[in-house]
Structure 1
Amino acid sequence: MTSTALVTGASRGLGAAIARRLAPDHHLYLGGRSSQSLASITAELEDSTPWPVDLTDHDAVATAARGIDSLDVLVHNAGVAALGTIEESSIDDWRAQYEGNVLAVVSLTKELLPALRRVGGHVVLINSGAGLRVNPGWGAYAASKFALRAFGDALRQEEPSLRVTSVHPGRIDTDMQRAIVEHEGDVYDGSMFLQADTVALAVRSAIDTPADAHPTEIVLKPRK
């Protein structure tokens, strides 16, 4: 029987890389903002279903989740970042990152708990190095990622039939990283960062860990 997986933020970057790693033996639900954004990755991965939904629209999430009866793997990859010092950042910046990086994850997980429990599924939270430490100018983003880590810790204890893995990668060579480096006023050099497929392979390794072990946390740092 084919396993099933839902990957949010699957249209590009790390999400697409994770989807490709899971594709050989999973039916994939590919999460994204629109069918158009998912068209390319859906066409590339044969056994996949586009799953376009605004994850901050909790009613829409509830409706979309009703079509999933059984789920082996849930990868929360979608997220947002708006950098700035505490003085510079607005309350709306903080609210948007908490909505996108925490409440969207809580909402979707709650809706899919019955499907995950049915098969003793695995929840993977793509967190960040910012979920372990805070740097100047990253306060709002780090606060949301610390909260995401706490959510994973609570879910792991409350749902003993599930495995819950928090993945904390350093900077990854993606379009999102380009925007961050531009904000910082630096010249972009993707070779200084983790490759998306490297992180995707770590996610796949966690999922493939035999059932007698629980990979609770993975930390990846660029070697350069």
Structure 2
Amino acid sequence: MSTTPSARAEPRVHLLTGGGSGIGAALARRLLERGDEVWLLARHAGRARELAAAFPGARTLVGDLGEPGRLSWALGHQAPPDRLDTLLHIAGVVELGTVGDLTPKIWQETLAANLVGPAELTRLMLPQLRLSRGHVVFANSGAGLAARGEWAAYGASKHGLKALADALREEERDNGVRVTTVYPGRTATPMQLKVHQQEGRSYDAARLMDPESVATTVLTAIDLPRDAEITDVRVRPGPA
């Protein structure tokens, strides 16, 4: 029996963070084009309206990953999907700096948006994911495997995200929930432009991966037949 999305009785349902640009935007567009139901998490109502206009057919939820303690309250005053096939954690923030210069505020903001927020959103969506025997995807980074100088805060948040994914995979296996971590290399996104600026380097998108390439990797993972699971995958820019 075919396991392609077109053979399904109904479209799959996806909740996506970071859908406004880069990898998240590429994923949202691809999922909508194939007829799936896409929900986009927005930081505030104004951003939700922008996303709804940019992605016709998508639905929105308002909740700020940077304020994990308020996510439960925020989603409790809305109507999230009652079933969920995939939860796609694509959003992230970055602020480079040496350990000697990073302030508690930067540490707290980075860990909230990149680690605690995704953990809390996952917790809140687990009932729907268990119901659908769904899939959680975390967009990590090479910094989640090895952090260089000036990448302490971001790298720590991404190392923590790897631990979150690994623990979640073990905990939810018996519930049929799959968990994948994708580690993209440098990709032509607004975040990468900011990184280049912080590093004092010139930005050349042509030398980086296209977000569509990372989106294709994610789609491969979530479209894999149920008898298999991609747990971790590294994606790097190809040879020039």
TM-score range normalised by the length of the shorter chain: over 0.9
Q: Residue 2 of structure 1 contacts residue 26 of structure 1 at CA under 8 Å; is this kept in 2?
A: yes
Q: Is 1:37 the equivalent of 2:47?
A: yes
Secondary structure of the residue aligned to 1:25 is coil
* Mean CA deviation greater in 84-93 or 104-113: 84-93
Distance 2:50 2:124 in 1: 27
* Displacement of 1:60: 3.9
Secondary structure of the residue aligned to 1:79 is coil
| Alignment correspondent of 1:213 | 228
**1:58-77 correspondence runs (5 A):** 58=68, 60-66=70-76, 67=79, 68-77=81-90
Q: Is 1:54 the equivalent of 2:64?
A: yes
Distance 1:73 1:140 in 2: 28
| Alignment correspondent of 2:4 | none
Q: Report the number of matched residues.
A: 224
1:135 to 148, 160, 177: 148
Q: Residue 26 of structure 1 contacts residue 47 of structure 1 at CA under 8 Å; is this kept in 2?
A: no
Q: Is 1:157 the equivalent of 2:170?
A: yes
**TM superposition score normalised by structure 1:** 0.94
Distance 2:27 2:199 in 1: 27
* Displacement of 1:36: 3.1
Q: Is 1:190 the equivalent of 2:199?
A: no
* Displacement of 1:56: 3.0
| Residues 21-63 of structure 1 deviation map (CA, whole Å, 9 limit, x = unaligned) | 2112321111122343344542343331122221233454224
1:96 to 89, 95, 109: 109
Q: Is 1:80 the equivalent of 2:93?
A: yes
| Residues 164-193 of structure 1 deviation map (CA, whole Å, 9 limit, x = unaligned) | 000100111111111111111111111111
Distance 1:110 1:157 in 2: 15
Secondary structure of the residue aligned to 1:78 is coil
Q: Residue 67 of structure 2 contacts residue 112 of structure 2 at CA under 8 Å; is this kept in 1?
A: no
Secondary structure of the residue aligned to 1:69 is coil
**TM superposition score normalised by structure 2:** 0.88
| Residues 35-94 of structure 1 deviation map (CA, whole Å, 9 limit, x = unaligned) | 433445423433311222212334542244452211001001111111011112112212
Structure 1, unaligned runs of 5 or more: none
| Alignment correspondent of 2:195 | 180
Distance 1:31 1:10 in 2: 8
Indicate how the Cα distance of structure 1 residues 86 and 57 shifts in structure 2: closer, same or farther if over 3 A, else same.
closer
Measured on the aligned residues, the alpha-carbon RMSD in Å equals 1.5
Structure 2, unaligned runs of 5 or more: 1-9
| Alignment correspondent of 1:147 | 160
Give the % identical residues.
38
Give the AA of the match of 1:22.
L
